[in-house]
Amino acid sequence: MTKLNVYCCTLAGRAEGMVAARSRKVAAELLGLSLYELTTYGHEANDADEAVALGAPGAVFHRADGFAGTGPWVLSKPAP
């Protein structure tokens, strides 16, 4: 089984997106970003956020205020 990594990225200024995927390239596609954008603006998830993403691999989650680091993750696109 392929190891999953959790990828987070600030989107459109303040929103934040997160997905658990097998590669950065797949994560970028799921988040609707270029590989460059995810590599440049991406950041690591904390343990609680990782648990959310790993609970639904391939599903895309968004949070309205990524800079505050608060607020619930909302499922925006189910896993393919």
**Burial class of residue 10 (count of CB atoms within 10 Å of its CB; 0-12, 13-18, 19+):** middle
For all residues of the chain together, what is the average pLDDT?
90
In the prediction, which pLDDT does 66 show? 56
Tokens encoding 30:
């799921």
In the prediction, which pLDDT does 80 show? 82
Q: Strand, helix or coil at 14?
A: coil
How much is the average pLDDT of 22-38?
96
**pTM given for the model:** 0.88
**Phi and psi at residue 69, in whole multiples of 5°?**
70, 20
